[in-house]
Structure formats: structure tokens, C-alpha cells
Structure 1
Amino acid sequence: MSEQTNNSEYNTVTLSLDDGTECECAIIRIFPAGENDYIALLPLEGEAAEQDEVYLYRYVENDGREPSLLNIESDEEYELVSEAFDEELDAMEYEDLYAQEDEENEEA
């Protein structure tokens, strides 16, 4: 995985997929679920991007603070992560709404 920052509002990573292809993804959020941290990635190209798929991976920082992404191995872990991600999306929507209200109040 190589991490890049481009001129868009998102940091991006390039994933090397199992089929040997690469996919550039926007980092949506890094969030905790259970005893681990996870990362949600939004593909920016290809069929997955067209279908608004989100990739979820276990997120680990090694001793050198180098991030690694690990596959989610079990259905139970995936269910836990999916629910936590849904809660994160709700929190992000609330934060956006709250920020918009602040902007409107400042303009008034």
C-alpha cells in the first residue's frame, strides 16, 4: 500500500488487489471497532467506484508507524465492523450538519 495526498479534499491510498490490479481509494475514516482499528476506503475508479462500494480493512500501525491493512477474516468481525462504520457515517453526517449550522450562524 502506498499512501498519497492529492489536491482533492481526501487523502488517498493505492491498493494492490488480489487479482494484481491497483485501485486508488479515498480514505473515508479510520475508526475503532471492538479491540481493533479499521479503515474505510472509497474506490475512485472502476466498477467498485461506479457502484459506490466501500472497502473495509483492519488498520494496524507497525513499530515504525508504517500503516498496514489486513483483511477481515470472519463474518462476525465483518458484521461488527459494518455496524461500527454505519455509526461512523451517522456521526460524520451529524458533524457536517453541525458545521453547516455554525457557518450559517456566523454569517447571520
Structure 2
Amino acid sequence: MADEKNTLIPEEEEAEVITLEFDDGSKVDCEILGVFDYDDKDYIALIPDDGSDDVYLYRYQEYDDASFELIDITDDALFNKVAHEFDEIMASQEAEEE
């Protein structure tokens, strides 16, 4: 997945889905929109399959055995910077499609 950095999934490709489980035990299936780089670290954008317009952003760590870990972004300032980078990528991709 890291090879696809800063390129979100084109609509014609079938999206990968992962299930997130939260601390309260609730689960939600999420479509993987893409992995992108910010400040030399990988982040992942997920779209929950819950009917909302939300996008979840997490730090993404992929390991040599192809496993991966999603890490909460707990610093508000960092989260805002990562969200801004995601918005810039989305805007750039939308401009290319026009």
C-alpha cells in the first residue's frame, strides 16, 4: 500500500475495506481511500460505511511482513496539519479529473 502514497483510489478500482473496532466495542467497516505522506510519515484516509460524510485519518505503519498498524493522531495541531495535507491532495486530484 505504501507504493500508492499520495494517490487516492480511482473510482473505477475496487476499494479495499477494513473493519475498525473502537474502545466501546463498536465496529465499523471502512473503505481505504488511500495512503499519503506528510512530514516523512505515512497516513491513511478511511471512509466509514455508516452513511456519514466523515473521513477518518490515522498514522499508518506498515511492517516487513505486510501487516500494518493504525495509530491515533492524538496531537490536535498535527491532526490539523495532516487533515490540511489530505484536503490538498483531494483538491489536486479533483483538479486533475476536470
TM-score, normalization by structure 2 = 0.79
What corresponds to 2:6 in structure 1? none
Identify the match of residue 40 of structure 1 among 32, 42, 45.
45
What does the per-residue CA deviation read over 1:52-84, in whole Å, with 9 as the maximum and x for residues that have no partner? Answer: 111000000123121110000201210110111
What corresponds to 1:54 in structure 2? 55
Residue 23 of structure 1 pairs with residue 28 of structure 2: yes
The runs of 5 or more residues in structure 2 that have no matched partner are: 1-12
What corresponds to 1:82 in structure 2? 83
Identify the match of residue 19 of structure 2 among 3, 14, 17.
14
Work out the number of aligned pairs and report it. Answer: 86
Higher relative contact order (CA 8 A, sep 6+): 2
Which structure is larger by alpha-carbon Rg, 1 or 2? 1
What corresponds to 1:103 in structure 2? none
SS at 1:91 equivalent:
helix
* 1:90 CA displacement: 1.0
The runs of 5 or more residues in structure 1 that have no matched partner are: 1-7, 98-108
What corresponds to 1:68 in structure 2? 69
- 1:68 is matched by which residue type in structure 2? E
Within 2, Cα distance between the matches of 1:74 and 1:37?
16
Please give the root-mean-square deviation of Cα atoms over the aligned residues, in Å. Answer: 1.5
What does the per-residue CA deviation read over 1:24-52, in whole Å, with 9 as the maximum and x for residues that have no partner? Answer: 0111111001121100101012xxx33x1
Q: Which runs of 4+ in 1 moved over 3 A?
A: none
